[in-house]
Amino acid sequence: MNPLDNIRVVLVGTLYTGNVGSSCRAMANMGIRHLRLAAPNLQNSWEEGERMAVHATDVMNAREEFPSLEEAVADCVAVVGTTAREGLYRQHSKTPRDAAPEILSLAETGPVAVVFGREDKGLLNEEVAQCTHLIRIPVDEGYTSLNLSQAVMVTAYELFTSTGRYEPPHEKAPPAPQAQKAQLMKNWSRMLCDIGFMKEVQADHFMQGFHRVFSRGVFTKDDAALMLGVARQATWAAKGGAAVRDGREDG
Amino acid sequence: MNPLDNIRVVLVGTLYTGNVGSSCRAMANMGIRHLRLAAPNLQNSWEEGERMAVHATDVMNAREEFPSLEEAVADCVAVVGTTAREGLYRQHSKTPRDAAPEILSLAETGPVAVVFGREDKGLLNEEVAQCTHLIRIPVDEGYTSLNLSQAVMVTAYELFTSTGRYEPPHEKAPPAPQAQKAQLMKNWSRMLCDIGFMKEVQADHFMQGFHRVFSRGVFTKDDAALMLGVARQATWAAKGGAAVRDGREDG
């Protein structure tokens, strides 16, 4: 099973539908679909919420509402509170990154609530007391107050990345084989003489520099083919070629 | 020096001031203060921007504006583009977590631009081509389109946490010493007999369970003092005490 399916994002006493909508979008971006509102205190219409949810209105429309936090988390095997402040009961909070593996592991066994407080006052002490775990998002001391949906995003992002389900993009072209790289250096050396950039006797010196440039990071077959095309074309032009050819054409 | 001081968040062709304001708040939360707008295409008034920036209006008001991306990044030693899409020139993107150490290392040497595209179209190919590095934020395949300020937040958060400048909160009370824990187990054992919870012969069995409960995570001196107070009070009450005393008083 996907443990993210067992995450319940619980917003307590939320004031603005725009923050609900933005939170839904952030949740959907991170593969989390279940929203609960506990004792919502909404001051504006759902129009703003829909505008901010964009393509996550399905998450928003499927929300469950409860009169209190206690009822919203009744079926949960763990209740993870998010808090920005230090203080009584809040000292043993972890960062979302450190807490994510345990949260996901608990979510393998049943629903896990991740609870976010009001825009203005956060979670009350009596709500924090209902939490089995506490997390605090790392912030700069100069401005510690996070927007509600931004707090949802960072937390959801840490849970999502902790699942290991995201595959970073890979180069489609394979790395250039050594023989192709050697050919590249040879052809460039010849070309750089042909165009008058350097003299034969300076080649060893200059080519060290080009070797360095071509060795930064992954250098693919396509990259090498492209640079070989440049060399061919420059040589051709230096020798009096008139028409411009596509350097990659016969690479 | 703090490398975050050399980060320049560059928003290209941004449409809505609300996203600029939210981005400023996210930046300030993560210790990043320098905003540049490249070819802004703003469709609404700064009122919404100010509302979303909340206490980060100083970041917003100190913004620099440039007619193009090229001019906005002219003084930068590296240009990090953010992209949601795959495609030409976008294959070698890294996650913000993987890229953060190198970005910070470059920021030790000079200004580094971190570039975010338009709300609707992201960065154009000609803008991606100006980037020396590309990052892509991990997202669920079901909904890959991030809100602009949420993308700024996740990226800024990864840069901030990568600096290692954030100290996670620590327990103020030191862990309970072993002698205090032993005293706790002894007193609880006596109390549980006194209140009729268990009989003397069952004590070894039951106390294993309480030992397990008291050994979860860090158990501080204050925690131990609190639980010792409970034992004392329960024993006193079970023996016919009439008035309620504060169990911690003579702990």
What residues of chain B lie within 8 A of the CB of A55, using their CB?
143, 145
State yes or no: pLDDT of A177 exceeds 80.
no
Of B140, B146, B154, the CB nearest to A31: B140
List, in sequence order, every residue forming a beta bridge with B64; answer none if it has no partner.
Answer: B36
| For range A38-51, the mean pLDDT | 97
Q: In what order do the strands lie in the sheet with B78-82?
A: B64-66, B34-38, B7-12, B112-116, B78-82, B133-135
Q: Is A166 on the interface with B (CB under 8 A)?
A: yes
Q: Is A129 on the interface with B (CB under 8 A)?
A: no
The single residue listed with the structure tokens 């929203």 is A35
Confidence label for A82 from pLDDT (cuts 50, 70 and 90): very high
Instruction: Report the percent of chain A where pLDDT is more than 90.
Output: 57
For chain B, the structural domain boundaries read: 3-162, 178-238
The DSSP code for B30 is T
**Predicted pLDDT of residue B251:** 35
Whether B60 contacts B53, CB under 8 Å: yes
Q: What ipTM did this prediction achieve?
A: 0.73
Whether B17 contacts B48, CB under 8 Å: yes
Confidence label for A93 from pLDDT (cuts 50, 70 and 90): confident
| For range A107-113, the mean pLDDT | 94
CA dihedral B228, B233, B234, B235 (to 10 degrees): 90
pLDDT tens for B99-110 read 999 999 999 999
A204-208, B154-158, B164-168, B232-236: range with lowest mean pLDDT: B164-168
| For range B8-35, the mean pLDDT | 98
Mean pLDDT (chain B, rounded):
86
| CATH fold group of domain A3-162 | Alpha/beta knot (3.40.1280)
Which of B143, B158, B161, B171 is most worth mutating to test chain A (most A CB atoms within 10 A of its CB)? B143
The total of other beta-carbon atoms located within 10 Å of residue A92's CB is 14
**Predicted pLDDT of residue B218:** 60
Whether A26 contacts B150, CB under 8 Å: yes
State yes or no: pLDDT of A44 exceeds 90.
yes
Is B168 in Cβ contact with A136 (below 8 Å)?
Answer: yes
Q: What is the length of chain A?
A: 251
Whether A55 contacts B145, CB under 8 Å: yes
Cα–Cα distance for residue pair B28/A146, rounded to 1 Å: 10
CA of B109 vs chain A CAs: smallest distance (Å): 18
Instruction: Report the percent of chain B where pLDDT is more than 70.
Output: 88
Confidence label for B244 from pLDDT (cuts 50, 70 and 90): very low
| For range B167-185, the mean pLDDT | 74
CA–CA distance from A205 to each of A9, A212, A245, B215, B222 (Å)? 61, 12, 30, 66, 70
Q: Is B87 on the interface with A (CB under 8 A)?
A: no
| For range A159-169, the mean pLDDT | 82
Q: Is B58 on the interface with A (CB under 8 A)?
A: no
What residues of chain A lie within 8 A of the CB of B85, using their CB?
none
**Predicted pLDDT of residue A246:** 43
Residues 177-216, chain B: which have Cβ within 8 Å of A? none
State yes or no: pLDDT of A247 exceeds 60.
no
Is A143 in Cβ contact with B28 (below 8 Å)?
Answer: yes
Which helix (H) or strand (E) segment is A44 a member of?
A: none
Which of B2, B29, B89, B223 is most worth mutating to test chain A (most A CB atoms within 10 A of its CB)? B29
CA of A67 vs chain B CAs: smallest distance (Å): 29
Closest Cα partner for B176 from B205, B203, B211, B208?
B211
The total of other beta-carbon atoms located within 10 Å of residue A42's CB is 16
State yes or no: pLDDT of B4 exceeds 70.
yes
Cα–Cα distance for residue pair A180/B164, rounded to 1 Å: 42
CA of B127 vs chain A CAs: smallest distance (Å): 20
Chain A residue nearest residue B223, CA to CA: A89
Which helix (H) or strand (E) segment is A85 a member of?
A: none
DSSP assignments along B48-85, one per residue: HHHHHHGGGHHHHHT-EEESSHHHHTTT-SEEEEE-S-
Whether B91 contacts B134, CB under 8 Å: no
Mean pLDDT (chain A, rounded):
86
Cα–Cα distance for residue pair A71/B5, rounded to 1 Å: 45
pLDDT tens for B26-70 read 999 999 999 999 999 999 999 999 999 999 999 999 999 999 999
